[in-house]
Chain A
Amino acid sequence: MILRTHLLDNALIVDIQLKEANLSNADQFKAELHSLINSGNKYVIVNFEQVIYVDSSFLGALVSALKLAMNNGGDIAVVGLNSDIRSLFQLVRLDKVFKIYTNTQEALTGA
């Protein structure tokens, strides 16, 4: 398992337990996140705090999960992005698609 989860208020907090979020773990990330969404978790907050870099494969997996969440009437927010990962979201315009917050608490209050 690369994702550690816990419920807080009405959201599922998903901590990515990886330093390098890349091609080698993108499929597993996608499968685990899809499974959590298919289990009925509508509002998911994905925490990137431990991640030092994200590649295109991992971003594609995250987008795939967002599509599933939205199809199920839910949403995904992301938190804990370092400056490079935040810049990458901006580069591919995903900052316009995902709600990005500094930390979990901020995401829960929708600040």
Chain B
Amino acid sequence: MKKFVFNNETEGIYPLTVQIIGYIKNIAKDIVDDDADFRIKTILIELLTNSLKHMGTDVTNIGVDLKSNKLYISKQDKGKPLQINTRQAILTWPLLTNKLAQNEIAIYGDDFGTLKGRVKNSNHLEFFTEDFDVQYVSKETVMGLNEHYGLMIIARASDAFDYKHKPGTGINTFTSVIELKQR
């Protein structure tokens, strides 16, 4: 796995994104088409933005790995664990057993879709989205729009996206997986 260091400065987001995409295009020469390029760029920008929001001045590690045409992009840090304010409660890590029993947690959403988390164990949440086909966009639809898109964007741009918290070390890892297609 190739590692890149993000210093959590806004000015570093775009140059690091360009650098990592350059590396990915080099290791996955013929399998990064325009769609994959957009998805990778979007995921990187949102992972780095997420880090900027939650990490302060510490550094964040970005890992890139390619195995059997699957691209793994991970973000690892020792910042605060992922905080999710669901309509019912604020999630804390390790997840409480009543959350485990729910299996799926609605994180946020609007008429167009919901971001959900599937509980894999008390320290592992797998994100996915439920999308709805909206035929008519009313004023009420607009007024109900979500204004927080970060995790939703990564979940939609990825083929798989999860979060793991490691108790003891306090390490948080987000991993996005993109299945690259041979052209």
Interface-central residue, B45, B112, B143, B157, by most chain A CB under 10 Å: B45
A4 within 8 A of B: no
Nearest Cβ in chain A — how far from B36, in angstroms? Answer: 12
* Residues of A contacting B149 in the complex (Cβ-Cβ under 8 angstroms): 56, 59-60, 92
Of A22, A63, A67, the residue contacting B49 (CB under 8 A) is A22
Within 8 A of A (CB), among B84-139: 112-113, 131, 134, 137, 139
Query: Which single residue of chain A is at the shortest CB-CB distance from B141?
Result: A97
* Residues of B contacting A83 in the complex (Cβ-Cβ under 8 angstroms): 34, 38
Query: Which single residue of chain B is at the shortest CB-CB distance from A61?
Result: B147
In the complex the two chains form, what is the Cα distance from A57 to B34 in whole Å?
24
Of A64, A84, A88, the residue contacting B147 (CB under 8 A) is A64
* Residues of B contacting A2 in the complex (Cβ-Cβ under 8 angstroms): none
A7 within 8 A of B: no
Binary flags per residue of B26-58, CB closer than 8 Å to A gives 1, else 0: 000000001000100110011001001100000
Contact B156 A56 (CB under 8 A): no
Of B13, B34, B52, B153, the residue contacting A91 (CB under 8 A) is B153
A-B pair number, CB within 8 angstroms: 77
* Residues of B contacting A96 in the complex (Cβ-Cβ under 8 angstroms): 112, 134, 137
Chain A interface size range: 20 to 34
Interface of A is mostly: helix
Question: How many of B's residues come within 8 Å of A, CB to CB?
Answer: 31
Of B34, B143, B153, the residue contacting A92 (CB under 8 A) is B153
Of B38, B137, B139, the residue contacting A87 (CB under 8 A) is B38
In the complex the two chains form, what is the Cα distance from A83 to B34 in whole Å?
10
A100 within 8 A of B: no
Contact B153 A23 (CB under 8 A): no
* Residues of B contacting A46 in the complex (Cβ-Cβ under 8 angstroms): none
In the complex the two chains form, what is the Cα distance from A87 to B146 in whole Å?
18
Contact A70 B112 (CB under 8 A): no
Binary flags per residue of A43-76, CB closer than 8 Å to B gives 1, else 0: 0000000001101110111011011001100000
Contact A91 B145 (CB under 8 A): no
Query: Which single residue of chain A is at the shortest CB-CB distance from B150?
Result: A56
Closest 5 CB pairs of A and B: A60-B147, A56-B149, A93-B112, A56-B150, A24-B10
